[in-house]
Structures are given as C-alpha cells and as structure tokens.
Amino acid sequence: MNDPRVTIRDVARAAGVSPAAVSKVLNDGYGVSAAMREKVMHAIAELGYRPNVTARAMRGRSHTVGVVADIRAPIVAQVVEGVQEGLRDSSLDVLLAPVGDAPERQRASIDTMINRNVEGLILIAPTLPYTALNTLGQSIPTVLIGRHGGGRHFDSVMDDDAAGAGLAVEHLAGLGHRRISHITMPTGRLRRPSVLPQTAREDGYVAAMRDHALEPDVITTDFTEEGGYAGALTALRRREPATAIFAGTDTVALGVLRAAHELGLRVPQDLSVVGADNIPVSALPQISLTTIDPAGKLNGSTSARLLRERIDGRLNPVTYAIAPSLVVRGTTAPSGSDR
C-alpha cells in the first residue's frame, strides 16, 4: 500500500537471491530448494510484496477473468458469487465490466477486457449475434451464461429453460388449469437455437401445452412490470379468459398480479400466476410468487470450471444445461378453487 511499490528486485535483494529465483518461487517453478523458498517467502512477507499484475500480464498471464454483465439484473450477483467460488483456489481474480442495454456497450466492455489481456471471458446473457461470439471465442477462452444453442468456439452454461417452462405448465395443469397463457418478449434479432432464456421458455411452454393436449396462448409484450400488466389484460379479457398465467419473468409476473388486482380477481383463487427467475422480491411474504428458480450460483461456479479447462487448453465446446426447480409459493392454487 505504501509508495513506492515494492518490486520483485527489492525482494530478491532482501532475500539475497536473483529476481528470477523469486519469480520461480511465486510460480512454483521447477528447481527451487526448500531453503530458498523459505528465504524468499520470508522476504515477501517482510516487505509486504505483491506482484504487479500489469507487468505479469505482459508476459502472458494476467491472472484475471473478465465478467461482462448487466448488473441491474438481480441474478448477476449470485452468478458472480458462483464464479468467484469456482476460482477461489486458482490465483485468478474476477473483474466485472458493467454494461447496460445497448449492444455496442457490450462490445465496448468486451474490448475493455481484451485490452487488459484477461485470460478468459464470462458473458452473462449477451445479446451479440452468434457469429460475433464465435469469432470472439476463437481469440480468447469464452463461456456464455444464459445463451441457448451452444457454439463451436465457446462453452455454454444455461438453465434448461424449456424444461423449466415444462415444470410450470405441469404444475398448473396438475392443478386442473386448462387455459394457461404465457407472456413473453420479442426475440430481438436472435434466431433459434441461439437465443436468450425467454425464447427457450416460450418453446418449452408450447411443447408442454401440446403434451397436455392444451392450446398454447402466447402473448408478446416486453419484460417490464408494465409489459406484464398489459399482457395480463389481454389474457384476461378474452372471451374465455385464462385461469392461469405463466409469466416469462418475475418482473412480468408482478405486472400480472397488479392487473389481476385491478380487475378484482383474487390470486390464487381466481387466477394462478407463475413467474421465472426467483428474484428477491418474489420471496417476500406480500408477493409470495410461485416461480422457477434459476440456480444462479451453480451457473457461476460451473462457468468458472469450464473456463479454467478452456484456459488450460481444451478446445472442443461444452454445453451445460442446469435443471431448474419450481418454487411453489402462494400464487398458485387448483383451478376454480375457493380455499
């Protein structure tokens, strides 16, 4: 912490060895005697030496993994925690480049990381086109979280969102619901199979409905509370209104709850609602939303493991789909019930 910084030369002098020797000790290189290791370690502790990472980075290893994510999404905190956990014993530090909505900001943040010679990248729910990601993966170890479809030059970790949607439909159908609507959002320019969670959920919903011999009803708005409100009004003003709504995200579900309230519908007696993402709000007693839990931490730690393998030289792509779980809370009940 004190200026000027202690360098490897200072340590070497204090320990009476060469800088190269200190470097070897630090990188547990081949050919260091116990005696020397001891001397060097002592000098390091004595002087409070910490290697200058930028200098290290110039010779290949930057000891840094870059995470690019929109930190406004509550799940990101959990994912990052998982990443850190997965990197704990590895001498790799996690740095986060914050992005907002704009795709060009994503690019800029990725470049920020690459300019700093990060050893690998973890991108959370990137909206960049498939080809750009593939090109990126060719030049640097890359793992994608939450992007479906996989790719040739990067690893992918995601929740099995289609299966999650299946869980939701199964739960609702099991409660006797027949008219189950789904609210989703436009896919942007992304095309199947390289898509974000909402599209996979939509597909899973449609498939599950067909499996139960039910008619799918997909309403497309946007993923805000407002969007959920508007979507719910559509679903509930049909000639044969929905008795259950599977919302594409919890935030959307909150809008659905508000619409129901305004229309005088009781939840869950008159309308059942299922969300997705299990954001912190959903667990609040006032909300108590039945939802699909995305296992954010597990996504993070799995990504970290894959990235390390990739940094260590693996080239063939790996895809991990994590089984989601349904968290049953207070917004779902049997159809036509009045408990």
Binding site for a second copy (CB under 8 A): 1-3, 50-55, 57-58, 62, 64, 71-72, 74, 76-77, 80-81, 84, 93-98, 100, 111-112, 114-117, 135-136, 138-139, 225, 254, 257-258, 261, 281, 284-287
Please return the burial class of 178, using the count of CB atoms within 10 Å of its CB with bins 0-12, 13-18 and 19+: middle
Asked if the bond preceding 285 is cis, omega within 30° of 0, the reply is no
Q: How far is the CB of 204 from a second copy (least distance, A)?
A: 27
Judged by CB under 7 A, does residue 113 bind DNA?
no
Q: Which is nearer to a second copy, 84 or 243 (CB)?
A: 84
Q: Which of these segments, 11-19, 180-188, 239-247, 316-324, binds DNA (CB under 7 A)?
A: 11-19
Pick what 41 binds: a second copy, DNA, none; C-beta below 5 to 8 Å, kind-dependent: none
Chain CA centroid to CA 222, Å: 20
CA distance 197 to 187: 10
Q: Which is nearer to DNA, 52 or 269 (CB)?
A: 52
The pairing of strands 291-293 and 142-145 is: unpaired
- Report residue 150 as tokens: 């996989």
Pick what 18 binds: DNA, a second copy, none; C-beta below 5 to 8 Å, kind-dependent: DNA
Pick what 134 binds: a second copy, DNA, none; C-beta below 5 to 8 Å, kind-dependent: none
Judged by CB under 7 A, does residue 29 bind DNA?
yes
The pairing of strands 291-293 and 325-327 is: antiparallel
CA distance 309 to 276: 31
CB 154 within 8 A of CB 110: no
Q: Considering only residues 51, 129, 317, 330, which one is a binding residue for DNA as defined by CB under 7 A?
A: 51
Judged by CB under 7 A, does residue 31 bind DNA?
yes
Q: Which of residues 59-88 bind DNA (CB under 7 A)?
A: 59-61
CA distances from 10 to 5, 6, 115, 137 (A): 10, 6, 29, 39
Q: Which of these segments, 19-27, 127-135, 198-206, 297-305, binds DNA (CB under 7 A)?
A: 19-27
CA distance 247 to 216: 13
Chain CA centroid to CA 294, Å: 9
- Secondary structure (DSSP) of 234-246: HHHTSSS--SEEE
Residues 6+ apart with CB under 8 A from 7: 49, 52
Q: Considering only residues 2, 3, 30, 89, which one is a binding residue for DNA as defined by CB under 7 A?
A: 30
Q: Which is nearer to a second copy, 74 or 317 (CB)?
A: 74
Q: Which is nearer to a second copy, 53 or 218 (CB)?
A: 53
CB atoms within 10 A of CB 144: 28
Q: Considering only residues 2, 3, 4, 316, which one is a binding residue for DNA as defined by CB under 7 A?
A: 4
Q: Which of these segments, 33-41, 135-143, 253-261, 308-316, binds DNA (CB under 7 A)?
A: 33-41
| Residues in touch with DNA (CB under 7 A) | 4-9, 17-24, 26-27, 29-33, 35-36, 49, 51-52, 55-56, 58-61
